[in-house]
Structure 1
Amino acid sequence: MADAQSPGPGGRGPDRRGPRPPRPRRTRLQAFIYWTMVMGVWALIFLVAFFAVFSVDLPDTSKLYQVKRQPSVSYLDRSGALISVRGSQYAPPVDLDKLPPYVPKAFIAIEDRWFYWHFGFNPWGIARSLFYNATHRGGPLRGGSTITQQLARNLFLTPSQTYRRKIQELILAVWLEAKFSKKQILELYLNRVYFGAGAYGIEAASERYFGQPASQLTLSEAALLAGMMKGPSRYSPVAATDRAARRATMVLDEMVRMHAITRQQEEAAINGGPIRVNPVLANQRAQYFTDWLDDQVRQLVGEPTEDLVVETTLDLPLQTSAEQALQRDVAAAASQGVQQGALISIDGEGRVRAYVGGINYLQSQFDRVSQARRQAGSAFKPFVYLTAMDAGRTPDTPVVDEPITIGNWQPRNYTGRYLGPITLEIALKESINTVAARLANEVGTANVAMTAKRLGITSPIQLDPSMALGAVEVSPLEMAQAYDAFSNGGFFVKAHAIERIRTASGRVLYDQGMGGADRRAVIGQPALAYMIRMMRAVIGSGTGTRAAVPGFDLAGKTGTTSDYRDAWFIGYTGGFTTAVWVGRDDNTPMRKVTGGTVPAGIWHDYMAQALPRLKVAPIPGGEAPQPQPSDLIGDLLNGAQQAIRPSNQGPPPQPYPEQPQSDPNLPPY
């Protein structure tokens, strides 16, 4: 039987071509080449798509050499002396060839030692940063940026730490490498990088920190500036001297490792002594004051579009005396737990003449003059006594210092003793708590709050009986503002410090005199004279004797909270008021520091320097009208009856109606 044969094509007969021969297998080399080409094509497609996606919103690179300069604001004191300059400082670009060779080498050593060998990015550095970011989730991303990438970020991008921004940074770095030489890139970098303190570029940084051009930088100064690139504020030679020095030593070590300098050069730089920072920058005065004004300037004239000059009320010699007195006396009282302090002086028109928001601006920028709210303690009592004077009492009104209960509250005296029958003048100068509490209860805490508001206290005032002893949180700025009415004849003042704002070309944008002063009387006679008399006694023979400056007419009041968390002295002479506060930022108690000790000492040390310069007059309105003899006898008789009145007897009728402290119709103090 014949074998069956399959038909050929078209069914015409058997297929006589036979089976197909097997394809020859690729060698390993051929397979490698094939798959490499396939992967290369896909990689190219991926890269094109990748760059297309992340290049969509890349910034315009045509404005590479345009510098967006932030306008500067220069602050002058009342005599025209420069206080400080805020805003960016730029200098003409420096030629790399005119710098000492070790200057660019310092930056390359610490920032990008493979700068001359990569094409804009360092793959090994990127790999390390990716590993770090994968193992440290939740924190800031580490970029492993080269100098070229840093330049791309500074020129075109924002500092935001996102993967998209870092990819765009890489794309722009490659573009920069393709367009510019290494020398041009390094020159652009040194001329545009930020060095802190408002200085952009190495020329501006050298001028600001060392007071000299970049061409005169020493090796140690160059290392210090290079070290700042990791964090201009953290490694500032002004704010963090020791940390900056350690970082500079690290830069020198890296320079030796890459053979940019010798070990002998490093040792000479280290042993050359501490680097001297520009004394103008290191000792800038009134930085809290300038911070306080920065926002006010923008509120008055908007965001600056050109350089501005702000003429202020500050008196730099007084400012210097205030800073020195506060720093010296707080340091001397450190063993008593005193940590911080604040001082503000204003004249009779409300012009700020000295403003110290803390003992060291470089360590803490928190402004304790205007931002801190601390309990006033007994420094609040003058508002209680003024309300009582307005209600018809006098300094000679007899009262009884004895235990008292108001509701569930039993105030106690600081000494723990009671003096019995005394006058209001003695009660205030000795800061007797029971008398102040009784007075506030009699005239009404709501009326006391209205008195304090009328004089210039702006913080909320609670109406509990304890407010009479200063259980009210206020700022030193408010207290100085309110006490100033006692110094200027009884007129309201609004503390201010800007006299005029003008452009650098002379165009006036704001003038304090254009609005007119709010000159309204807030303390009348004879209440003003009575208060001045009693507050003179505080310094003359009361709790504030340490503040006395012989030969000057002074008055004031001490203030201490019951747990020694806050201590105050606020005093004045004719048309000039100074408030001093000391305490701790964490609000923990000091060691029995009262207003009559450290604050009064600071006030004295400062005012002893300030008063001769001011040539002040006696306190206006301090002469009280003398009552007729018949009236005086009547007052004494009425006072005697009041003094012997049993303590459980209700208060006599008063001109101010007593208001329920829970009354919802009371104003929101």
Structure 2
Amino acid sequence: MASGNKRKPPLVADRKRAANGQPPKVGLKVPPKPGTAKPKPAKSTRKTSRKPARKTTRRKGGGGIGGFFRAVFGWIMRLIWRVTSRLAMVVALLVGIAVAYVYSGLPEMSALLDGRARGSVTLQDYQGNVFAWRGDQFAGVVTAQSVSPNLRNAIIATEDRRFYRHFGLSPRGIASAVAINLRAGRGPLSGNGGSTITQQTAKLLCLGVEYDPTQWENETAYEDDCRQGSLWRKGKEAIYALAMELKYTKDEILTIYMNRAFLGAGARGFEAASQRYFGKSAAEVSPAEAAMLAGLLKAPTRYAPTNNLERSQGRAATIVRLMEEQDYLTAEEARYAQDNPAQLSEAAEAKAGGYFADWVMSSGPEFFTRKTTEDVIIRTTLDRRLQQAAEDAMRIVFDEKVSEGSKAQAAIVVMSADGAVRAMVGGRNTKVSGAFNRAIQAKRQTGSSFKPFVYATALEAGYSPMDTVMDEPFCMNVVGSGQWCPENYTHKHYGEVTLARSLRDSLNIPAVKVSEMVGRDLVRKVADDFGIKSDLAAGPSLALGASESTLLEMTGAYAGILNGGSSVKPYGLVDLKLLGDDQPLMDADGGIGERVIRAEAAQQLIWMMEKVISEGTGRRAAIPGWEAAGKTGTTSSYRDAWFVGFTSEYVAGVWMGYDDNTPLKGVTGSGLPAEIWRETMVRVHEGLEPRPLPALPPQDGSRNRDGLAPTTVSGSESAIERLLRGIFSGDGSSQDPANGGTR
């Protein structure tokens, strides 16, 4: 067959390149079959021809020393990136674990609002009005929703303007604070901290560490530990803040912050501070008041308006400007707040009750006052009108009668006849708290203000104000001291004088004779029973006030004379109860006690003491329209000057002297103390209807040349003189350098 004999095309071997890269010339190429695609050139051939060219170009551009260093630098950077990225992942993991751990231990928000380690004491006057606070005051919970918008805005504008936008930390704020600190020459973490409100709240919570009295010496040490600014502490604070942001909403964090912040004067939280400074709720404060409260966050003690109102107002003005800049206040509202700065409430202006509040706190049970863990309400005897009267009297006399620059001090106590203390001033600076209280802490020689208790003893023994005693040179031998010769203040002698005149003119020799006649031990007992509990002198100078006492004791003893001869224990606490309770836990621990002398003897003594003011050494103390009785007192060398006295309504005592016992310059009890007493009592009795003293004049109505009823005399001697004659003898006269010459 033709087809069978048809010659087949010869087989062609695969094309192979020659050694020189050219295709061999032998063999034939097989044509493609019809209908088949033309084969593509082999890629391997093209790639093989391009790769060497690229490599050659790279080697040419990166060669040399520069290329080497660039390669080394690139390798280092890649190594750093690998290390830091992995380290960052590890740190992020650890932070996440730490945040999760802290988060798991955070309590509910309500458990963090009141974190005080001790309670508060609220003091009320006799009418039930609050006049002072002590301890850590917490007036109740405020929330971000219930508080005045003015206050919320002031806090955010001042402390953390990005509060609602950040995640608990503010890198921008931290960087800004570090820059400010470095420019000021401080360490990067010293001074401004750039802390957010969340971080500040974490610090207020002490990162969840509770106060333990066995670990810290006191709360101050605990709080100092919480506020340390080390880098490690800042790191823990940041973790705690992040956990809080996860656990609580922004408003809940702000609520915790507003309730935990210390704002000066013992106020914890903005509700307590608002009540403390303005007498109103934090929900009612104006922009000016809100700015003043927010200003306390930076330095509570420094900017407390009770410490320096002008400084506090200046800080508030800055915050008002910040509120305007951040559109929380319009220009008109800001201008009004600047022109009408916040003012203190009446109670706040009174400096937290001053000396009186301090005394009540020191006299009450410690576990309900100084160291209470409860919130306590104490109703007191204070009459704020009388307190203001005493403070005004002190200021007026020192401004008008005492030389400028004098360091002399004074104290005043006003009380009722039952011992209820109505006012107390413990020093010239009346607007203080926690200061040395001269009315209760200073024990000073009483001088002639002690003499009424000498005559009270004689009257109780049956003697009359009209009995006489001889005022003449007099000496006696004192065991262990030798001869002692008292002398009158005037260095004169007046012969036969009545007991009434002896007290009226504050004669020393008759007082000593009467004391020795009735027995100085009995005089000491009568004085002690009347409430003078200080150690009383054992020698004859007892009659001249050589013993020391406090003004409160002396005023209370005079109250016993006014009330008819019964002892008095001065008191300021009426009742004490826990906040929220209706029934008091304790009542007044003071008042009228047992009878010391007969009512008749007390009334006779009142009559004698009235003559001191109307006719004797205390004439400067006279109160227009009122009967008053009292006694002056001046110690040797003029170291102390006293005036203590009473009307039918009130008893008041005044002491004046130097804290270091420097002698007063010419001041006696009949001088400045009597004037302070009068200025006080005139104001105290404003608006009251005058009532006579419960005095009992002598029964014999006749008068002698002294204006007093005649004495009972047998021959040329009184009954007292007959007893004294033969017991004491001596001649000459000399003033006792330590105890004589009192008036």
TM bucket (normalised to shorter chain) is: 0.7 to 0.9
Q: What is the letter of the counterpart of residue 389 of structure 2?
A: S
* Kept in 2: contact 1:106–1:251 (CA 8 A): yes
CA distance in 1, matches of 2:672, 2:607: 24
| Aligned partner of 1:160 among 218, 223, 234 | 223
| Cross-structure match for 1:200 | 268
| Cross-structure match for 2:674 | 600
Asked if residue 244 in structure 1 is aligned to residue 312 in structure 2, the reply is yes
Matches within 5 A, 1:79-118: 79-84=127-132, 87-95=137-145, 98-99=149-150, 103-108=154-159, 118=170
CA distance in 2, matches of 1:238, 1:434: 52
| Cross-structure match for 1:174 | 239
Which secondary structure does the structure 2 equivalent of 1:332 belong to?
helix
CA distance in 1, matches of 2:148, 2:341: 28
CA distance in 1, matches of 2:270, 2:717: 81
| Aligned partner of 1:510 among 586, 593, 600 | 586
**Deviation per residue, 1:105-160 (Å, 9 max, x gap):** 55228999x9986369948868999999999xxxxx97958344432232245653
Q: What is the CA distance between 1:522 and its match in structure 2?
A: 0.9
CA distance in 2, matches of 1:286, 1:344: 14
| Cross-structure match for 2:531 | 456
CA distance in 2, matches of 1:224, 1:341: 35
**Deviation per residue, 1:552-596 (Å, 9 max, x gap):** 443211122334443221112447422222344555444433222
Which secondary structure does the structure 1 equivalent of 2:644 belong to?
strand
| Aligned partner of 2:566 among 491, 501, 504 | 491
CA change 1:42–1:613 in 2 (3 A) is: same
| Cross-structure match for 1:657 | none
Q: What is the CA distance between 1:89 and its match in structure 2?
A: 1.8
Q: What is the CA distance between 1:538 and its match in structure 2?
A: 0.8
| Aligned partner of 2:442 among 359, 372, 375 | 372
| Cross-structure match for 1:231 | 299
CA distance in 2, matches of 1:221, 1:131: 33
| Cross-structure match for 1:637 | 717
| Cross-structure match for 2:471 | 400
Q: What is the CA distance between 1:361 and its match in structure 2?
A: 4.6
Which secondary structure does the structure 2 equivalent of 1:342 belong to?
strand
* Kept in 2: contact 1:286–1:356 (CA 8 A): no
CA distance in 1, matches of 2:286, 2:718: 83
| Cross-structure match for 2:38 | none
**Deviation per residue, 1:13-49 (Å, 9 max, x gap):** xxxxxxxxxxx99957766877998899999999999
Q: What is the letter of the counterpart of residue 107 of structure 1?
A: T
| Aligned partner of 2:598 among 516, 524, 527 | 524
Which secondary structure does the structure 1 equivalent of 2:653 belong to?
strand
CA distance in 1, matches of 2:360, 2:103: 37
Q: What is the CA distance between 1:543 and its match in structure 2?
A: 1.0
Q: What is the CA distance between 1:236 and its match in structure 2?
A: 1.5
| Cross-structure match for 2:26 | none
Asked if residue 276 in structure 1 is aligned to residue 307 in structure 2, the reply is no
Matches within 5 A, 1:20-35: 27=72
CA change 1:232–1:285 in 2 (3 A) is: closer
| Aligned partner of 1:349 among 418, 437, 446 | 418
CA change 1:422–1:285 in 2 (3 A) is: farther
CA change 1:47–1:453 in 2 (3 A) is: farther
CA distance in 2, matches of 1:50, 1:178: 10
Which secondary structure does the structure 2 equivalent of 1:229 belong to?
coil
| Cross-structure match for 1:660 | none
Q: Can you give the 5+ residue segments of structure 2 that lack an aligned partner in the other structure?
A: 1-67, 212-221, 703-708, 732-743
CA distance in 2, matches of 1:253, 1:445: 73
| Cross-structure match for 1:543 | 617
* Kept in 2: contact 1:300–1:510 (CA 8 A): no
| Cross-structure match for 2:397 | 329
Larger Rg: 2
| Cross-structure match for 1:65 | 110
| Cross-structure match for 2:12 | none
Q: What is the letter of the counterpart of residue 444 of structure 2?
A: R
CA distance in 2, matches of 1:63, 1:284: 37
| Aligned partner of 2:651 among 565, 577, 581 | 577
CA distance in 2, matches of 1:101, 1:286: 30
Q: What is the letter of the counterpart of residue 460 of structure 1?
A: D
CA change 1:123–1:85 in 2 (3 A) is: same
Q: What is the letter of the counterpart of residue 717 of structure 2?
A: L
CA distance in 1, matches of 2:715, 2:80: 113
Q: What is the letter of the counterpart of residue 564 of structure 2?
A: G
CA distance in 2, matches of 1:350, 1:641: 37
CA change 1:398–1:62 in 2 (3 A) is: same
Asked if residue 558 in structure 1 is aligned to residue 624 in structure 2, the reply is no
Q: What is the letter of the counterpart of residue 509 of structure 1?
A: L
Asked if residue 291 in structure 1 is aligned to residue 367 in structure 2, the reply is no
Give me the TM-score of the superposition, normalised by structure 2: 0.67
| Cross-structure match for 1:649 | 729
**Deviation per residue, 1:360-385 (Å, 9 max, x gap):** 55335433332333332221222333
More moved, 114-123 vs 586-595? 114-123
CA change 1:443–1:273 in 2 (3 A) is: same
Which secondary structure does the structure 1 equivalent of 2:303 belong to?
coil
**Deviation per residue, 1:53-96 (Å, 9 max, x gap):** 9x999996315432237766554444445544554223421348
Q: What is the letter of the counterpart of residue 223 of structure 2?
A: S
**Deviation per residue, 1:524-567 (Å, 9 max, x gap):** 37653553333122112111112223554432111223344432
* Kept in 2: contact 1:378–1:470 (CA 8 A): yes
Q: Percent identity over the alignment?
A: 32
More moved, 188-197 vs 37-46? 37-46
CA distance in 1, matches of 2:496, 2:317: 72
**Deviation per residue, 1:504-541 (Å, 9 max, x gap):** 442242344xx997642212376535533331221121
CA distance in 1, matches of 2:516, 2:95: 77
Q: What is the letter of the counterpart of residue 354 of structure 1?
A: A
CA change 1:457–1:132 in 2 (3 A) is: farther
Q: What is the letter of the counterpart of residue 170 of structure 2?
A: H
CA distance in 1, matches of 2:631, 2:239: 69
CA change 1:94–1:551 in 2 (3 A) is: same
Give me the TM-score of the superposition, normalised by structure 1: 0.73
More moved, 365-374 vs 242-251? 242-251
| Cross-structure match for 1:3 | none
